[in-house]
Structure 1
């Protein structure tokens, strides 16, 4: 898991792009394939924790989110 920032977020259409140091160019996130409580409340600029995998290429992205957790939902400790 790595710290990341939401770049684009389209809750209505079910997709987003998330940036982190480990995912140059952004990480594609589709709501149907990620576990993310409260995802509809995210907006561009929000901080999140990202779990991702590298893929050959999907819609121009080389990284796909496996799980995204809004910072306010992270467990303390």
Structure 2
């Protein structure tokens, strides 16, 4: 897959607080977009809630078996 980037709205599929990562589903990232707590724009403890709507910037290739990786999430 060539390097691509984009921005979209998505919904958090799942989040692992103990490991600091999760997956966001969006129309632009079929199969899910891997995200890490370091990409979350927030103060204090950075976490996402499953089912929450978020805005994300993404890139490919992804990480850990996902074709896409979030570079910014809000």
TM-score by length of 2: 0.79
Question: What is the number of equivalent residue pairs in this alignment?
Answer: 66
SS of 2:29's equivalent in the other structure is: coil
Partner of 2:4: none
Q: CA RMSD in A?
A: 1.5
Gaps of 5+ in 1: 70-77
Task: Find runs of 4+ consecutive structure 1 residues off by over 4 angstroms.
Answer: none
SS of 1:24's equivalent in the other structure is: coil
Structure ranking higher on relative contact order (CA contacts 8 Å, 6+ apart):
2
Partner of 1:26: 32
SS of 2:68's equivalent in the other structure is: strand
